[in-house]
Amino acid sequence: MIAVMEEKGIDRITVSDLTDKADINRGTFYLHYTDAADMVRQVKEEIWDGLKQRLEKLNPVDYPKYAARNEPYPLVLQVVEYYGEHTDFFRVILGPKGSPFLCSSD
């Protein structure tokens, strides 16, 4: 999906584009998604939920404790690592062919 989004943009993705790139048949695709927009929506929701879960754990009260010891706050590291794990997604979704509305269905 990311490669197709890079090539065509988020609004121009088709099921054929996705199935060709993934080398699967359309029937397999439709077992999981209703259309290309549904796939994009589900992936965006999954990524957003993962990010929210990590952000909700952050407690600003803990920041000074780690700063005083000159140590990174482990929960911030988890957020940064999450971004790192999903770098391609964030680069494309927030780029010129993506969508600035990460958590919406557009």
Whether 58 has a pLDDT exceeding 60, the answer reads: yes
Tell me the average pLDDT across 9-18: 92
Tell me the average pLDDT across 57-61: 95
d(CA 81, CA 8) in angstroms, rounded, equals 28
Write the DSSP assignment of 31-65 as a string of letters. Answer: HH-SSHHHHHHHHHHHHHHHHHHHHHH--GGGHHH
* CB atoms near residue 91 (< 10 Å): 12
Q: pTM score, two decimals?
A: 0.79
Q: What is the per-residue pLDDT across 78-102, written as a single tens digit (0 to 9) for each? A: 999 999 999 999 998 888 877 766 5
pLDDT at 101: 64
pLDDT at 105: 46
